[in-house]
Copies of this chain bind each other. A is one copy, B any other.
Amino acid sequence: MDTRVKFLLREWSADRLAQVERALDAWVAEDAPAGLGDAMRYAVLDGGKRLRPLLVMAACEAVDGNAGAALRAACAVELIHAYSLVHDDMPCMDNDILRRGKPTVHVRFGQAQAMLAGDALQALAFELLTPEDASVPAATQAALCRLLARSAGYEGMAGGQAIDLASIGRALTEAELRRMHRLKTGALLQASVAMGAACGVADPAAVAALNGYGAALGLAFQVVDDILDMTADSATLGKTAGKDAANDKPTYVSLLGLEPSRVYAAQLLAEALGALDTSGLPAGRTEALRALAEMVVNRNK
């Protein structure tokens, strides 16, 4: 990627991130009763890479879709991601006290409020997708709810977490590990791309290509996550490093080794970029998706 394109993409990211932060600040439940709003906002605002929202918006722009719908979808996906972190961090799951460099929600607000805040964030995601005004056509609202519900539920994120729970201390085959990660992390990342595409009208070949991009990127994300859990420190990550090994969880690094994991991540990046090449979408409109895939694989936190 040449310097000029890199510069433009940095501007693109900064602009879209600012839109997402403003929208989340406006839409996340300031007036929720009895401290619930504080816990919800603490879980969502002021932190996170916002990778999923950027994927939604980049995919929407690739198909020249409805930007207002994409902003809602971007925030909805981020709320699902945020709620999953709140619940994951709780003592009965990963029992983690540090997230995005701050105390986790249950440490700050207590377990009961953390559980409720997670529950309410999931509901709010679907609320954001179904505005009463006509800004988002009903068919788009329904499609977005469908994609998000599937990727968050038992065939997606929650199912992956159940496999994760059941796999602690067990040796997984690579196929089992891949399935766990495809569900646990990959499903919501892939849904982010699909939801962005659903904000517009694209031909089936383009939608299939975007799905291929999303699947490869989703898995690449987790391979890199496993590498960083092993190689980075907690201060850089903003969360506890080395906890997979400490919890005896299977990872790509424990299964393949560090260097082969890096090679695999690079292969997945090539696969994601290759899918975009076959999409039939104008190259200029897929630049942000390309840049995001490179960012996912080359990040250091």
Interface residues of A (CB under 8 A from B): 29, 32-37, 40, 83-84, 87, 90, 92-93, 110-113, 115-116, 118-120, 122-127, 129-130, 132, 138-139, 141-143, 145-146, 148-150, 152-156, 158-163, 165-167, 183
Contact = CB atoms under 8 A, between A and B. Distances in A.
Contacts of A159: 32-34, 36, 120
Contact of A158 (B93, B116, B154): B116
A28 to B, nearest CB: 9
A112 B183 CA distance: 17
A198 to B, nearest CB: 12
Nearest to A147: B130
B127 A37 contact: no
B93 A154 contact: no
A50 B160 CA distance: 30
A148 B126 contact: yes
Contacts of A92: 90, 110-112, 115
B161 A116 contact: yes
14 contacts: A29-B154, A32-B154, A32-B162, A34-B167, A87-B115, A92-B110, A93-B112, A119-B122, A119-B158, A120-B154, A126-B149, A130-B145, A132-B146, A138-B138
A94 B112 CA distance: 9
Contacts of A29: 153-154
Q: What's the dominant secondary structure at chain A's contact region?
A: helix
B116 A118 contact: no
Count chain B CB atoms within 10 A of each CB in A148, A154, A156 and give the residue with the most.
Answer: A154
B153 A145 contact: no
B33 A153 contact: no
A40 B146 contact: no
Contacts of A139: 138
Contacts of A34: 159, 162-163, 165-167
Contact of A162 (B36, B126, B153, B183): B36
Contacts of A35: 162, 166
A163 B33 contact: yes
A85 to B, nearest CB: 12
Contacts of A153: 29, 120, 123-124, 127
A29 B183 CA distance: 15
Nearest to A40: B154
A166 to B, nearest CB: 4
Given A33-B162, A138-B138, 5 more contacts: A34-B163, A123-B149, A123-B150, A123-B158, A141-B145
Nearest to A155: B32
Contact of A115 (B33, B93, B166, B183): B93
Contacts of A155: 32
B123 A123 contact: no
A184 B9 CA distance: 46
